[in-house]
């Protein structure tokens, strides 16, 4: 059965930080890594998550309910965007940290990484912090369509070593590469067994990118 996403709640500050009693997977990444485009592709809706040419636009925690599975994808504010004020970055960091720590419903954090770039310090810091906190890390290499097959495989191997042996998913919001694999990864993280994650059209797109 094909999944879709529905924006259920937006959290702007610590006073609003209450989360549903359901499994959650957070999405974290640099401000221009393509989180909104990824969410739109997974949802099959172009305007569910607002995209912008201005990095750092997302200033809230957005909770998307996955139907019909019943768990949540939680879009965190992007990190690593220096043009935001120090006060804003500190406020976002505090909000993100509070969400990530002590959240018994959090089943993992998908760290989105730009496939075109060498490992960035902000990504390494996030992965290191999550692993130190005992939070499962799910690696996702975005914009994979913009890399050659050779570069994609090299980046996948490089990040597998940095992620403790777990190979990241190669994903493209443009072509659909990795669509089914990413849904399977999320389903497994929240304890769902074999589920159909994509419509036939999505399977065809993925096959074309293989």
Domain residue limits, the chain:
4-209
Most confident of 5-14, 19-28, 87-96: 19-28
CA nearest to 116, candidates 141, 82, 81, 80: 141
Q: What pLDDT, on the 0 to 100 scale, is given for residue 194? A: 57
Tell me the percentage of the chain whose pLDDT exceeds 90: 66
Reduced to 3 states, what is the DSSP secondary structure of residue 123?
A: helix
Sign of the CA dihedral 125, 128, 132, 135?
A: positive
Mean pLDDT of the chain: 85
Is the pLDDT reported for residue 180 higher than 60?
yes
Q: Which of 45-59, 85-99, 141-155 has the lowest mean pLDDT?
A: 45-59
Q: What pLDDT, on the 0 to 100 scale, is given for residue 15? A: 82
Reduced to 3 states, what is the DSSP secondary structure of residue 147?
A: coil
Q: What pLDDT, on the 0 to 100 scale, is given for residue 58? A: 55
Is the pLDDT reported for residue 96 higher than 90?
no
Q: What pLDDT, on the 0 to 100 scale, is given for residue 55? A: 47
Q: How confident is the model at residue 79 (pLDDT cuts 50, 70, 90)?
A: confident
Q: How confident is the model at residue 145 (pLDDT cuts 50, 70, 90)?
A: very high
**Beta-carbon count within 10 A of 39 CB:** 22
Q: What pLDDT, on the 0 to 100 scale, is given for residue 78? A: 86
pTM of the model: 0.85
Stretch 156-176: mean pLDDT: 96
Burial readout 142-178 (b: 16 or more C-beta within 10 A, e: otherwise): bbbbebeeeebeebbeebeebbeeeebbbbbbeebbb
CA angle 131, 162, 156 (to 5 degrees): 130
Record: fold of 4-209: Rossmann fold (3.40.50)
Is the pLDDT reported for residue 80 higher than 60?
yes
Q: What pLDDT, on the 0 to 100 scale, is given for residue 13? A: 83
């Amino acid at each position: 059965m094909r999944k879709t996403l529905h924006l259920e709640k937006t959290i702007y500050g610590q006073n609003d930080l209450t989360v549903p009693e359901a499994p959650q997977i957070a999405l974290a990444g640099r401000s221009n890594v393509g989180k909104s485009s990824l969410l739109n592709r997974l949802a099959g809706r172009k305007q569910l998550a607002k995209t912008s040419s201005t990095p750092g636009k997302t200033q809230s925690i957005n909770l998307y309910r996955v139907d019909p599975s019943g768990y949540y994808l939680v879009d965190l504010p992007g990190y690593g965007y220096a043009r935001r004020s120090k006060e804003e970055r500190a406020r976002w960091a505090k909000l993100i940290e509070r969400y990530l720590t002590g959240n018994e419903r959090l089943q993992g954090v998908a760290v989105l990484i730009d496939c075109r770039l060498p490992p960035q310090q902000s990504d390494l810091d996030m992965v290191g912090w999550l692993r130190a906190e005992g939070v499962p890390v799910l690696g996702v290499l975005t914009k994979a369509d913009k890399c050659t097959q050779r570069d994609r495989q090299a980046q996948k191997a490089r990040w597998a070593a940095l992620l403790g042996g777990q190979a990241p998913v190669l994903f493209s919001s443009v072509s659909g590469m990795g669509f089914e694999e990413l849904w399977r990864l999320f389903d497994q993280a929240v304890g769902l067994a074999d589920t159909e994650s994509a419509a036939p059209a999505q399977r065809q797109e993925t096959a074309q990118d293989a």
